[in-house]
């Protein structure tokens, strides 16, 4: 009985395979390497696990870099850094805004979460914030950016608190979204 069952299952699996099935087409692997770092409150924050979102039809920006650093210090502080970039008329990238998030544990079940932002230009330009950016476009899809930033980040429109950051650096190699 076992031999008949084995023979029947073998025939079904052989007949289930077809020669006309084409192999799966693989897409070239996306280029995604990035680094971000900044000095805040006397501490060098190095962001290593960075999510690169190269824009698209549902994205308000052409490029977004996001990273989170969890710390295991006594306050369980967590930092996040988000940088949004837009494309300019030459095809390069410009920094639209950036946000540094700081989360501190205040007690067993209590946390303080603050977001500090900077807009380099435009109507909401942040005073005393400077940055530089360089774009390299190898071909239509392979892009890279590098840059620096430092200065003042603001907490919010209704809260006059600000923080100082220095020695900010970023770089990203990525496959751009082409519509």
pLDDT (tens digit, 0 to 9) for every residue of the chain, 179 residues total? 444 444 444 444 444 444 554 444 333 445 678 999 999 989 899 998 898 888 877 778 889 999 988 766 555 568 999 999 998 888 889 999 999 998 877 777 777 888 999 999 888 889 899 999 999 988 888 889 999 999 999 987 667 789 999 999 999 998 877 66
**Backbone φ, ψ for residue 44 (5° rounding):** -85, 115
C-beta atoms surrounding 118 within 10 Å? 27
Average pLDDT score, the chain: 79
Distances (CA, A) of 11 to 6, 16, 110: 9, 8, 63
Q: What is the pTM of this model?
A: 0.76
- What contacts 9, CB < 8 A, 6 or more positions away? none
Q: What residues does each domain of the chain span?
A: 29-175
Residue keyed to tokens 């850094």 = 81
């Amino acid at each position: 009985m076992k031999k008949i069952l084995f023979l029947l299952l073998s025939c079904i699996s052989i007949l289930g395979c077809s020669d006309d099935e084409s192999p799966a087409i693989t897409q070239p692997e996306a280029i995604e390497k990035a680094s971000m770092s900044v000095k805040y409150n006397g501490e060098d924050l190095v962001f290593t696990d960075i999510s690169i979102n190269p824009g698209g039809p549902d994205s308000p920006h052409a490029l977004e870099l996001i990273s989170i650093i969890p710390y295991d210090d006594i306050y369980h502080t967590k930092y996040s850094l988000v940088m949004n970039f837009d494309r300019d008329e030459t095809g390069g990238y410009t920094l639209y805004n950036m946000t540094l998030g700081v989360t501190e544990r205040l007690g067993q079940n209590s946390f303080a979460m603050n977001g500090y932002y900077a807009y380099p230009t435009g109507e909401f330009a942040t005073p005393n914030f400077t940055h530089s950016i360089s774009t390299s476009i190898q071909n239509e899809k392979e892009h890279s950016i590098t840059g620096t930033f430092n200065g003042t980040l603001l907490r919010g429109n209704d809260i006059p608190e600000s923080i100082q950051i220095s020695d900010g650096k970023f770089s990203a190699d990525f496959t751009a979204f082409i519509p």
